[in-house]
Each structure stands twice: as structure tokens, then as C-alpha cells.
């Protein structure tokens, strides 16, 4: 009996260790979504991030005085972002898509749900501002899931960010861990989420449950934010969706869908997705008149577009 217990506990430890490793260092597919891989067309750039390390970025020049920096989600890299970068570059925007160090093929950092991702994001924005052609350009952040959460948190730290588009971000990183068990694995979130948080903290040296995205979103009340969400509940719960919706500021726009899975709005409603994002950027960055100054943040009213796929309005 004692041997059986020891064997069971040993197997459990190995299972937890293996699961933690997969969660921290997941496989990263290309996931182009049917669009052209723009790697060959883009200029690959090296972005210093300190500590003797660097990010890899892919840059497409535009014709307008505005640049968008794109952050992919968990277990994805810059190639996923080409589905969005393509139409934004055709609008005239300069585009920079970066790989978080947790998504690069070698010498990877662990996924930390905020710590390393924010450091990488800050380095990317510093690189943008160091380029003569982009030093005074209007600056947009675009991100999916973890990338969207990072974009919102980063924008709250950087007053030079003019607008944010966040597709399916999480409300806070601990809730994201809980929903990973509840919505994806269909397991009780507690105590599993607590255990996963402690393991993540032990392995990486950083708390994976401390990123407060709703707080960042409230801090962005005076800046344009387009929030794209799904209530299908396959990755994040409706509770997280509602928390984010309620935190959207006076210049925020909300598009919530009931008929698509996590980060699949572009796949299933591509024409409307690109139209909404393009209209949002044009309205708030005034891209149709590049010489004009952006409207004063304190006085411009929010632009709210009615959604055609059973959206939920912000509380």
C-alpha cells in the first residue's frame, strides 16, 4: 500500500511538472489564417531589451504618420499578426510585429502573463520612438488575448500611445489561469489555479497572477480603445467579459460577439472586423487627413458602432 501511495504521488508530481513546462513553454505554430506570410516583405529588426538580450521584430513601412505595434497571444508569434498587419499596412500605417521572448524558437523566456511580456513591449515602443521616421508618429497598440492584455497594460504606462485595439484580452491574469482550468480543461479552478500560480512563481521568479488589465483599462478612460470580445466562454468566462466591458472608458468602443470562439472574430467576420478596426483607427487618428492634429482627448465623444452579431453593451 505504501509503495502504491509513493508511486501515485511521484506520478502526480511528474504530471504537474510536465504540465507546468508545457504551459510555460508551449508549442508555437505559424497560424497564418490563410493570409500571406509577410516575413519576406518585412524588414527584420533587432530590438535591444537590456540584460544582454533582444527581441526580434518585423517592420513594414507605411505612408502615413502613424505606426501600429502588434503583440500576439499565448503560444503564437508575429506570423499570427500578419492577418491584421496586412490590411492595416494597406491603410498606410507603418507596422511592427514582434515576438515575445517566450515565443521565439531558441533561448526562450517562460510565459509569465505580464512580467516579461511588458518588458518586451516597452522595448518595442522604445525602438519605435528611436526611429527618425517614427519619432513623432501617432502610436497604436494591437494585441490578441495575452497580447491584447499586454497592450492595454502597456498603454496605461505610456502616455505616447494614442489608441489600443484589444481582441479578447483577459480581465486579470489570475482569472485567466482560473478560466484555463474551468473553460478549457473543464476542471474545478480551485485549488488548481492557486497551485499553478505558485508553480509559475517558483519556476519563473515572477507572479503570473498579478497583471490587472481592468485597472489599466480604467486608467485609459481618456484614450480611444476598441475592445473585441466573445461571450462563447470557450477560453474566458462571461464574468471576465463583463468586467472588461464595465471598465471601458468614455472613448471606448465595444464589439462583443456570441457566435465565435476566442480570437476568431476575424476568421468568421473578416470583412466587418477589418471595417470596424479601420474605421476606429481612421476616426481617432484622422488618417484620412494626415496633416491634421488629433482631436482633444478630453472633449471628443466616444464613437459607438452598433454590432450586428448580438453584442452586449458595456455596463
The CATH number that domain 2-172+208-285 falls under is 3.40.50.1820
pLDDT-derived band at 51, boundaries 50, 70, 90: confident
pLDDT tens per residue across span 98-154 = 999 999 988 999 999 999 999 999 999 999 999 999 999 999 999 999 999 999 999
Q: Are 311 and 255 in contact (CB under 8 A)?
A: yes
pLDDT category, 308, cuts 50, 70, 90?
very low
pLDDT per position as a tens digit, 249-263 = 999 999 999 999 999
Q: What are the distances in angstroms from CA 305 to CA 221, 283, 313? A: 18, 12, 11
Q: Which of 101, 123, 105 is nearest to 30 (CA)?
A: 105
User: Counting beta carbons within 10 angstroms of the beta carbon of residue 13, is it exposed (0 to 12), middle (13 to 18) or buried (19 or more)?
Assistant: exposed
Question: Can you tell me whether residue 98 is helix, strand or coil?
Answer: strand
Across 184-207, average pLDDT: 95
For the chain, the 3-state helix, strand and coil shares in percent, each to the nearest 5, are 40, 15, 40
**DSSP letter for each residue of 30-74:** ---TTS---TTTSEEEEEEEETTEEEEEEEE--SSSEEEEEE--T
| Matching residue, cell 488548481 | 192
CA–CA gap between residue 39 and residue 185 (Å, rounded): 34
Question: Cβ–Cβ contacts within 10 Å for residue 40, how many?
Answer: 8
Angle between helices 82-90 and 270-285 (to 10 degrees): 50
pLDDT range class, residue 244, cuts 50, 70, 90: very high
The whole-number pLDDT of residue 288 equals: 66
Phi-psi region of 142 (alpha: psi -120 to 50; beta: other; left: phi over 0): beta
Confidence at residue 1, expressed as pLDDT on a 0 to 100 scale: 64
What are the grid coordinates assigned to 62, written together? 507605411
Q: Where are the domains of the chain?
A: 2-172+208-285
Whole-angstrom Cα distance, residue 279 to residue 91? 11
Distance (Å, whole) CA 306 – CA 109: 41
Neighbours of 300 (CB within 10 A): 15
- Report how far residue 276's alpha carbon sits from residue 307's, in angstroms, rounded to the nearest whole number: 10
Amino acid at each position: 500500500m505504501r509503495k502504491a501511495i509513493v508511486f501515485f504521488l511521484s506520478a502526480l508530481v511528474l504530471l504537474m511538472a510536465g504540465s507546468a513546462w508545457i504551459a510555460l513553454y508551449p508549442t508555437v505554430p505559424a497560424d497564418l489564417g490563410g493570409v500571406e506570410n509577410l516575413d519576406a516583405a518585412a524588414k527584420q529588426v533587432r530590438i535591444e531589451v537590456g540584460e544582454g538580450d533582444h527581441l526580434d521584430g518585423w517592420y513594414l513601412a507605411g505612408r502615413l504618420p502613424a505606426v501600429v505595434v502588434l503583440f500576439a497571444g499565448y503560444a503564437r508569434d508575429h506570423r499570427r499578426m500578419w492577418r491584421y498587419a496586412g490590411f492595416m499596412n494597406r491603410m498606410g500605417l507603418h507596422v511592427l510585429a514582434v515576438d515575445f521572448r517566450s515565443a521565439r524558437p531558441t533561448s526562450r523566456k517562460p510565459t509569465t502573463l505580464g512580467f516579461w511580456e511588458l518588458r518586451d513591449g516597452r522595448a518595442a515602443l522604445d525602438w519605435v520612438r528611436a526611429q527618425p521616421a517614427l519619432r513623432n508618429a501617432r502610436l497604436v497598440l494591437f494585441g490578441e488575448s495575452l497580447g491584447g492584455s499586454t497592450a492595454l497594460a502597456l498603454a496605461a504606462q505610456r502616455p505616447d500611445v494614442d489608441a489600443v485595439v484589444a481582441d479578447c484580452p483577459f480581465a486579470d491574469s489570475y482569472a485567466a489561469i482560473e478560466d484555463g482550468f474551468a473553460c478549457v480543461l473543464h476542471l474545478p479552478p480551485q485549488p488548481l489555479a492557486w497551485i499553478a500560480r505558485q508553480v509559475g512563481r517558483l519556476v519563473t521568479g515572477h507572479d503570473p497572477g498579478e497583471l490587472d488589465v481592468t485597472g489599466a483599462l480604467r486608467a485609459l478612460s481618456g484614450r480611444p480603445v476598441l475592445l473585441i470580445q466573445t461571450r462563447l466562454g470557450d477560453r474566458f468566462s462571461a464574468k471576465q467579459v463583463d468586467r472588461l466591458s464595465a471598465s471601458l472608458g468614455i472613448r471606448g468602443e465595444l464589439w462583443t460577439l456570441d457566435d465565435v470562439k476566442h480570437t476568431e472574430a476575424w476568421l468568421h467576420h473578416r470583412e466587418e472586423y477589418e471595417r470596424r478596426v479601420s474605421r476606429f483607427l481612421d476616426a481617432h487618428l484622422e488618417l484620412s487627413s494626415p496633416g491634421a492634429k488629433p482631436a482633444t482627448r478630453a472633449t471628443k465623444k466616444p464613437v459607438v458602432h452598433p454590432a450586428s452579431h448580438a453584442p452586449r453593451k458595456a455596463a
